[in-house]
Amino acid sequence: MWFSFWRSKDRFSLDQLRYLADQLTKVQIVNEVNKDFVIEALRSIAELVTYGDQHDPTFFEFFMEKQVVGDFVRILKLSRTISIPLQLLQTVSIMIQNLQSEHAIYYMFSNEHMNYLITYSFDFRNEELLSYYISFLRAIGGKLNKNTISLLVKTRNDEVVSFPLYVEAIRFAFHEESMIRAAVRAVTLNVYHVGDDSVNRYITSEPHTDYFSNLVSFFRKQCMDLNRLISETLKNPGPDSNSTVTTAVDEIEDNLYYFSDIISAGIPDVERLITDSILMLLIFPVLLPSLRTVADNDMQSGVVTSLYLLCCILRIVKIKDLANTIVAALYYPLESFTKCSGGQVNGYIPDHGFTSKSDGIDNDNLAENSAKCLVVNVPCSSSSSDCHPQSITILNNGSSSNVALREVLLEYVTGGADVQVLGSLSVLATLLQTKELDESMLDGLGILPQRKQQKKLLLQALVGEASGEEQLFSSESSLTRDGIACGLDVYLNKIKEQYGVSFQPSNVVSSPRVPRFQVLDALVSLFCRSNISAETLWDGGWLLRQLLPYSESEFNNHHLELLKISYENSASALEKEVRGFWPDLLITVLCDEWRKCKRAMESSSPPKEPKCMLFPPRMFFSEDIPEGSSFTAGERMHELVKVFVLLHQLQIFTHGRALPDQPLIYHPCDHRTNSRAHTSGLAAVPKPGTEMNLELLSRGAKSAIFAF
């Protein structure tokens, strides 16, 4: 009988389909003798049914009439070899993926045949079989809509009581193979985006809600693995270290994008479950305490990792309650969350490669960060020139657990290592760009952009009870203060009542101007530091321009003096490069970096992505340059130019002048300087073979720096 199968026939005919179906019904046992015939019959039936769906409806009518899917299930029960389940899953998957007729899909999903295959006890110890099974689930998930999903669930009193596709899929949600995890996620997203209310109630009921907390727990483990990887990489870097970290970072972000895709389905209970899980399993017990703790916390060495993860969560997972709750948590002292993690407050984290206590505050810091407190000078009024500033102490020496987390971020900006500065700036920039945050929360942090601040005050003037003039021009608008406090109180109470944080938040806003000047003072202090990379300083410059896009009114005399001294020191350092290895390229690099810096400052996004903090830049100092190393000297010169250009542009900005597109290297009246430039061959970019007068070149470059 089996050899008659191989006789010559028209492969794509109804007769061939009828013949194969008839032969399949005669199979009473599947063994080594006939398994090849059964496999070929299953494969051929899939081809014929798919062909008929697109060319001849009588093919599928016959397929339904003979209930061939029922024979598929019967053959599976008879099978004693692994090859039959493999082919059967592949056959059904191909048919579901390629059938275009809704009528055909409805038939395939009816009669409980698909649910039987979904719940069948396959031997998943066979990896190939598991792969085919997951593909089968994904094929079904791809055809889900409000009509077809009802064929795959069981209901009682209009409530879903069983949904095998979803339940069996999430069993493999945390499989070690990434392709399987990706397929399971595709199935779950198809389920969430159908928008069936009864199905949504089912997936948000016990015990299925455990899936969302398990997702966050799995993500938490990945975060800890990333932190360990970064720590090991910094201690023992290898040739593949960066690529390994990049792979881990990509997986972290993929997980967060999965959270984001789930949220986009618009299921309120799911959004609440994910928000609560992220806060209770990751943010409160792990990330926030890791900003400054030691003890049995798996993330104790991960200050930078924690800052990066906070940025990622805020950037990718677009949940309003989550973002605002994180900001409200920044007003709490460290001790509030170290109780959650079992950590011990220590004032500074021994970061195992990220930083150490000796790396902290720069001896050359012109803002005098080495003092035991940071004094914020808050002018009484932006329009009053004769008012004495108020001195407000916001930070202690970092040894107290009463320091609010918001102040910890500012402390890193003023006294942390380069990667900690970049991490803190990235968090502030991310918060500033997070659209889900209420403007009152940004205002309370001191990072509400000036243009939004003025718009907010104008709206308050139009609808408030106080006079418009009082609200717009008073430095202490009670309405502004009340607005900040009102928005903040909602989330502070939520943290206390819903998440059980019993500590009182510290330094809640008493004046709407205080947090803004705290941030401004921290940024000015940053620009006075000499141990910070140019790229990190550029991020600080971008943040400053976002806060004050077109006004110098909020700078006080102390700020201006510090920036001026820092600029002059930078110019002096750059002057030494005139007699270095690359004086002939100095002016060219200055012009090039001017344009780049201007573009970076005016961009809508920070110059560097948050993930860059995981790959700290190399910094060049004079003692690092081996004698005769022109390459390293060139890198150092390039770094000095970038710092100089930023500080020079800040000088122009703080004096209220427009920033030119091209730098004015030579003063228009300085004919001697221009003459020297022509003489030395620097009227334009030097051409190969140009003979230069190096004596005049050095003098011209030096003049260029101070006329810049």
Find the CATH number of the domain harbouring 74. Answer: 1.25.10.10
On the question of pLDDT at 203 being above 70, the answer is yes
- The confidence score (pLDDT) of residue 548 equals 81
**Tell me, what DSSP letter sits at residue 279?**
I
**Per-residue b/e over 410-442, b at no fewer than 16 CB within 10 Å?**
bbbbbbbbbbbbbbbbbbbbbbbebeebbbbbb
Does residue 18 surpass a pLDDT of 90? yes
In angstroms, the Cα distances linking 283 to 295, 337, 404, 449, 499 are 17, 9, 15, 26, 11
Tell me: pLDDT of 91 over 80: yes
Distance, in Å, from the CA atom of 706 to the CA atom of 665, rounded to the nearest integer, reads 9
**What is the domain extent for residue 560?**
533-619+628-669+694-707
Q: Which residues are CB-contacts of 570 (< 8 A; sequence separation ≥ 6)?
A: 640, 643, 644, 647
With respect to residue 228, please indicate whether it lies within any of the assigned structural domains.
Answer: no
Choice between 437 and 398, residue whose per-residue pLDDT is larger = 437
413: tokens are: 């900006």
- pLDDT of 358 strictly over 50: no
Residue 249 or 242, more confident = 249
- pLDDT for 643: 94
What pLDDT is stored for residue 457 in this prediction?
Answer: 59
Q: For residue 5, which phi and psi values (nearest 5 degrees)?
A: -65, -30
What pLDDT is stored for residue 644 in this prediction? 94
Round to whole Å and give the CA distance between 424 and 399.
19
> Sorting pLDDT into bands at 50, 70 and 90, what band is 705?
low
Q: Return the minimum-mean-pLDDT range out of 236-245, 496-505, 624-633.
A: 624-633
Assess whether pLDDT exceeds 60 at residue 379. no
pLDDT band at 155 (very low <50, low <70, confident <90, very high): very high
Q: Which of 176, 205, 234 is the last residue of a domain?
A: 205
Q: How confident is the model at residue 381 (pLDDT cuts 50, 70, 90)?
A: very low
pLDDT at position 188: 98
**pLDDT for 139:** 97
Residue of higher predicted confidence among 386 and 680: 680
In a domain, 356, yes or no: no
Q: Are 483 and 440 in contact (CB under 8 A)?
A: yes
Task: Please state, rounded to an integer, the average pLDDT across all residues of the chain.
Answer: 79
Model confidence band, residue 694 (pLDDT cutoffs 50, 70, 90): very low
Lowest mean pLDDT among 369-378, 555-564, 651-660: 369-378
Q: How far is the C-alpha of 301 from the C-alpha of 292, rounded, in Å?
A: 9
Q: Which one of 156, 188, 205 terminates a domain? A: 205
Distance between alpha carbon 358 and the CA centroid of its chain, in Å? 30
Assess whether pLDDT exceeds 50 at residue 675.
Answer: no
Residues in the chain: 708
Of 205, 232, 249, which marks where a domain is finished? 205
Predicted confidence (pLDDT) at residue 635 exceeds the cutoff of 90: no
Is 575 a member of any domain? yes
Q: What is the mean pLDDT of residues 404-429?
A: 93
The stretch 580-604 carries a mean pLDDT of: 87
pLDDT (tens digit, 9 = 90+) per residue, 398-416? 444 578 899 999 999 999 9
Report the DSSP pairing between strands 374-378 and 159-162. Answer: unpaired
Mean pLDDT of 234-245: 83
Residue 319 reports pLDDT greater than 80: yes
Measuring CA to CA, which residue among 374, 670, 652 is closest to residue 523?
374
Q: Does any domain span residue 63? A: yes
Question: For the chain, what is the domain count?
Answer: 2
Least confident of 65-69, 579-583, 598-602, 632-636: 579-583
Task: Report the first-to-last Cα separation within the chain, whole angstroms.
Answer: 95
**Residue 569 above 80 pLDDT?**
yes
Q: Is residue 677 part of a domain?
A: no
| Mean pLDDT, range 363-376, rounded to an integer | 36
Query: Would you call 30 helix, strand, or coil by DSSP?
Result: strand
Tell me the pLDDT band of 468, cut-offs 50, 70 and 90: very low
In a domain, 646, yes or no: yes
159-162 and 154-156 beta bridge pairing: antiparallel
**Distance (Å, rounded) from C-alpha 337 to C-alpha 408?**
14
| pLDDT band at 435; cut points 50, 70, 90 | very high
Residue 679 belongs to a domain: no
Confidence of residue 617 (pLDDT cuts 50, 70, 90): low
In the structure encoding, which two tokens stand for residue 102, read together? Answer: 């809704």
**CA distances (Å), 477 to each of 380, 381, 480, 489, 554, in order?**
12, 11, 5, 18, 16
Q: Is residue 468 part of a domain?
A: no
